[in-house]
Amino acid sequence: MKLYYCETINPRKACAVARYLRSPVEFVRVDLGRGEHRHPEFLALNPNGKVPVLQSGDWSLWEANAIMCYLSDVAKADLWPHDARQIEVMRWLSWDAQHFTRSGGTLYFEYHIKPRLGMGAADPAVATVATANFTAHARILDAHLRDRTFLVGNSLSVADFAVASALAYADSAKLPLAEFPAIQRWYARIDDLPAWRDPFPAQ
């Protein structure tokens, strides 16, 4: 299997799960700056022109959450559970994509990506709205995590990897986490995982 990635939010969680599970994947870096994601060969794998993509023979799978679940199944692991927890994991994956990392990802783009690409400073209006949205959803997450070790049940799941994805860039993205101690405790446990701290192959 080949896992196409770049060093950004969504590929991070797929790469971290692959490393955590010691999945037999070949990591293939896609240079977005050189437009490799728009090459016909890559678009044949993912017509959306985005990473990550997992290729297995003639079959390809895109979307990081789906890749995480697939890798868990291939490894016969429990990160993507097949019992009553599955619906809870699905709920947090959906919530994260629509709310938490959606607003966190906006701040990541405004404060982290734009300066790196020479696109100028963050747009204050966009950043203000994203910060308010992130804070509102962080309150929900913090309350949920107050007496929990992980998001669902008593063990790590793909939901933890997904919801943690923007938090890896909390400082540079100016994510307002100071008032959320439960999130900070939970994220510290995720950040203790070597696969999370160092998900990308050395270049």
| 134-184 residue pLDDT tens | 999 999 999 999 999 999 999 999 999 999 999 999 999 999 999 999 999
Confidence band (pLDDT; 50, 70, 90) for 115?
confident
Structural domains in the chain, sorted by start: 2-74 (3.40.30.10), 85-197 (1.20.1050.10)
Residue 60's DSSP bridge partners are 55
Averaged pLDDT for residues 70-76 = 98
Which three-class secondary structure state does DSSP give residue 87?
A: helix
Query: Is the pLDDT confidence value at 92 over 70?
Result: yes
pLDDT given for residue 203 in this prediction: 61
Angle between helix 124-145 and helix 101-108 axes, rounded to 10 deg: 140
pLDDT given for residue 33 in this prediction: 84
26-29 β-sheet, strand order: 26-29, 2-5, 53-56, 59-62
CA-based torsion, 12, 17, 22, 25: positive or negative? negative
